[in-house]
Amino acid sequence: MMAVRRIEARAHVRATEVPDRVLAAVTNVFPEIYHDQLETTWTKVETHSGILMFVVIAVLEGEKACINAFESIMNTLSMPDKRTLSRTIESRIDDQCIFYLRLEKQEAFLERLKLAIGPDVISLRVHLQQLPRCKYDDAAKFIIDRLENAGGHN
């Protein structure tokens, strides 16, 4: 049986951005009921051109919380975004059964989830688990089933 054991949302905080707004965008990816369970870290990094910036990461763990949060994320996406995920599923799951997607940071700040098309993103990593070993085909079927069963808007 497939489970979701961890969800990570990560975004860069550029020098021109307000850190609290980026944090709000990152936490808005998760249902509000789980905001107090998020483990948030800030890391200072230097770009290749020497500019200092931060990376903020919010992590949710726990099978029940993660599956509920994941289903909420899938329900919130538009039907075109769900079709895009279904069409591109092969490139979104790695050999460790991590499902990757990128969301628009500005939309998340406004409490809307939309697949990213530009560079201002929140990177989402959904860690899937299956015992004894996670298999790609099972992970892809799990994601596609969730996309097909999720509500959503046009």
CATH code for position 67? 3.30.1440.10
Cis upstream peptide for 132 (omega within 30°): yes
* Radius of gyration, alpha carbons of the chain: 15
State pTM to two decimals. 0.92
* Overall domain count for the chain: 1
121-151 pLDDT tens trace: 999 999 999 888 899 999 999 999 999 887 6
Give 3-46 pLDDT, tens digit per residue. Answer: 999 999 999 999 889 999 999 999 999 999 999 999 999 999 98
Are 150 and 75 spatial neighbours (Cβ–Cβ below 8 Å)?
Answer: yes
The residue segments making up the domain with residue 15 are: 2-149
Question: Which H or E run includes 121?
Answer: strand 121-130
